[in-house]
Each structure stands twice: as C-alpha cells, then as structure tokens.
Chains A and B, each alone.
Chain A
Amino acid sequence: MRNEVLVAITSDRDVVLARQTGRSMATELGLSKSEATLLATAISEVARNIVEYVGNGQILLCIVNLNGMEGIKVVASDSGPGIENVEMALQDGQSSGGRLGLGLPGARRLMDEFHMVSEIGEGTTVTMTKWKGPRRG
C-alpha cells in the first residue's frame, strides 16, 4: 500500500476520485466502514471547495503514525485568493462565496483533527486527520 497519494483537483470528477482514494486507503489501514465514510465525506467537502471557489488545487492523502495511533491525514491546498476570516468560514451558516456555508464546519465535525490556514493572495490549506479506533476522551 502506498503511504502517500496526491490527487490533483480540477473538476467535480476529481472530488469523487479524491474521496474514493481516501476511503480505500482508510479501509486498507483498518479503519471501520463508518470511520472511512466520515473521512470520505469530509474529503468530498474540502475538494468541492477547491473546485467551486478556486478552480484547482490538490489533495494529499497520507498514512500517519503518532504515539501508537494510526490514521489518514488529508492536506487540501490551493493557490487561490485566500479567505480573510478563517474563523468565520468555519462557523455554521457562513460562506465567503455567499452559498450555504455547511461544508467546512461539517467536515470539521467529521474529523478528529482539523486546521485551516489561509493567506490573502497566497491560498488556503486545510489539514485534517481521521484516527483509527475509538477516540480518547
């Protein structure tokens, strides 16, 4: 199994490819079907954001090990205009594009870790991780 897969995101077909690749990596790593579906749904959202708001970008999927935990890390990045207020973009009902802002806050709820950084004129990167097995706490 490859530890890292890079998926170029340029169209709605790539959104499907990215989430299916993430799902198969998760399943091979031994994540449950439910965990794999949570991951695939979150990937679908961040990939769609790239297509809708920027047009193109990439999603890096990798297997991570930390303190005996295994999981799938997703790094979704673009070189778009960037988001001025990241905190606001992560609130329910907010969206810089004027559409229903469900995607990012929803994706955050599905993942165990979620970070978003954005620089105006530079682009946006969302880094999120789904761990295998029951959560701590």
Chain B
Amino acid sequence: MPVPILKQGPYLVASIQDALSDREVLELQENLLKQIGEVRASGIIVDVTAMDVIDSFASRSLRTVALTTRLRGAEMVIVGIQPDVAFAMVQFGLLMDDVNTALDLEEGLEFLDSWIAGRTFDDEE
C-alpha cells in the first residue's frame, strides 16, 4: 500500500502507516520529490511513528529526500521516530545530523512555520 501524502496548507504530510519494504521506501521518495514541485509545497513532514525499523536503507532514503527537498528551496522534517528506533539508529551509527527531526506532527508543523517565518524575514533584510 502506498504511503498517503496529504496537502496541509503549504506543506505535504506523508504518514507512514506500516512497516515499509525497500520498494515502498523508494516509491515514497519518488512521490514526495515529484509532488513537492507539482503543488509548490514549502515543506514536507514525514511521520515515521509506525516504522518498526529505520535501517541503513530507510535512513539513507529519508536523508536523500530531505537534502533534495532543501535544494528545491523547501524544508523537510521527520517526526515520530520511536525511542527504541532512535536508540537502534545511534547504536548502528546512522546519524542524520543534517536532517530536521521533531517529536510529533504538531511540533513538526511548528518547526516548518518558524522556518518559513525566518525565511520571509531574511528576504526582507
């Protein structure tokens, strides 16, 4: 089942519903990168609360979307990384230093709102 991507205001919200196979991770990556241009979104939120595991493949794919999104002039934030999943990522050595993360959807939205506010401010300088 493909990951649903909803438009919420200026943002795209992808809510992962279940454990993803590698193919589904790649589909999500492709769909997000396609839609960000189509709907002219300023930001992407990827909710990974339901992900059982974030391994090297999933983290590399998510990081690719985040950095590509940034090159397109938008920003991405990953929300909902579970405590045990975060612990495993650190033990593994999967660090996503250059990727934004937030606790949950609400904080993710706040993050993007303040990012947009900051961006507008910079433009006016």
Measured between beta carbons, the chain A residues less than 8 angstroms from B22 are 12, 15, 48, 51
- Are A103 and B56 neighbours in the complex by a CB distance under 8 Å? yes
Decide yes or no: A38 and B21 within 8 Å by CB, A23-B52, A44-B53 being known contacts: no
Measured between beta carbons, the chain A residues less than 8 angstroms from B92 are 41, 102, 106-107, 109-110
Residue A13 lies at the interface, judged by CB distance under 8 Å to chain B? yes
Decide yes or no: A48 and B87 within 8 Å by CB, A12-B22, A100-B60 being known contacts: no
Measured between beta carbons, the chain B residues less than 8 angstroms from A51 are 22
How many A-B contacts are there with CB distance less than 8 Å? 70
Decide yes or no: A37 and B56 within 8 Å by CB, A12-B22, A109-B91 being known contacts: no
Residue A113 lies at the interface, judged by CB distance under 8 Å to chain B? no
Residue A19 lies at the interface, judged by CB distance under 8 Å to chain B? yes
Residue B23 lies at the interface, judged by CB distance under 8 Å to chain A? yes
Residue A40 lies at the interface, judged by CB distance under 8 Å to chain B? yes
Interface residues on A, range: 20 to 34
- Are A16 and B21 neighbours in the complex by a CB distance under 8 Å? yes
Measured between beta carbons, the chain B residues less than 8 angstroms from A110 are 88, 91-92
- Are A106 and B52 neighbours in the complex by a CB distance under 8 Å? no
Residue of A nearest to B25 (CB): A12
Alpha-carbon distance between A57 and B108 when the two chains are bound, in angstroms = 40
Interface residues of A in 1-48 (CB under 8 A from B): 12-13, 15-16, 19-20, 23, 33-34, 36-38, 40-41, 44-45, 48
Residue B85 lies at the interface, judged by CB distance under 8 Å to chain A? yes
- Are B84 and A12 neighbours in the complex by a CB distance under 8 Å? no
Alpha-carbon distance between A45 and B84 when the two chains are bound, in angstroms = 17
- Are A37 and B57 neighbours in the complex by a CB distance under 8 Å? no
Q: List 27 A-B contacts (CB under 8 A).
A: A12-B21, A15-B21, A15-B22, A19-B19, A19-B52, A19-B53, A34-B83, A34-B88, A37-B52, A37-B53, A37-B84, A37-B87, A38-B88, A38-B91, A40-B52, A41-B55, A41-B92, A44-B53, A48-B22, A48-B55, A51-B22, A92-B93, A100-B56, A100-B60, A105-B93, A106-B93, A110-B88
A residues near B (Cβ < 8 Å) are 12-13, 15-16, 19-20, 23, 33-34, 36-38, 40-41, 44-45, 48, 51, 92, 100, 102-103, 105-107, 109-110
B residues near A (Cβ < 8 Å) are 19-23, 52-57, 60, 82-85, 87-88, 91-94
